[in-house]
A and B are shown apart, each in its own frame.
Chain A
């Protein structure tokens, strides 16, 4: 597609429920990144995919967080047993250029855990 698409744009969930966030990167972009942006904070790196492998999962905050990517396409970020501190905007970005290029970001999913 023309840009990075994320869905849903907003999600309100009850504490303890599982949620799944989706990211559709730009076609042909091999690298895909997930970030978390808490209110008033900077961006926190979560996970990076090169193709469908994830060489670096060290940014995932706990074992309740997991992510998958199908081929060089859609990625899903799953949060199990959500907690209130998971409330944030989850941003996805994709890149063609790798280490020297900038990323194209989606508009994010605003997650609110009540």
Chain B
């Protein structure tokens, strides 16, 4: 089956620190990969995505590269801000599944806390 594993939180960093949140996946075929962000009190928002190997998704200073050889999609940001404090979810959507029958498979989420 499909699964997503991401690092346990909470992750606490100081402002302007470098961020990495690890994400690895197990899937048949060639999934699309996503990072979603959930700010306090809000719904999930798509942060970035990559649909094939070696693609790099980027948004708001965040980046993640689809690595098929290591089945990974680690999220990175060079200099975090207090406003980046949120829960980050890695997710996959398997290709060729007949129209999203299983929906997205999510990791458990990583709570990121940025201190001033």
Contacts and interface: CB of A to CB of B under 8 A. Distances in A.
A112 B51 CA distance: 37
Contacts of B107: 42
Interface stretch (B64-72, B75-83, B88-96): B88-96
A55 interface: yes
Interface of B: 32, 34, 36, 41-46, 49, 51, 89, 93-109
A35 B103 contact: yes
Nearest to B109: A42
Interface string A91-114: 101010011111111111000000
Interface string A54-70: 01100100000000000
A99 B43 contact: no
B63 to A, nearest CB: 16
Contacts of A59: 103
A21 interface: no
B95 to A, nearest CB: 6
A100 B32 contact: yes
Given A91-B43, A106-B43, A98 B100 contact: yes
B45 A99 contact: no
Which of the listed residues B36, B42, B100 has the most CB atoms from chain A within 10 Å of its own CB?
A: B100
Contacts of B45: 105
A35 B89 CA distance: 14
Given A102-B34, A106-B43, A108-B43, A48 B89 contact: no
Contacts of B105: 45
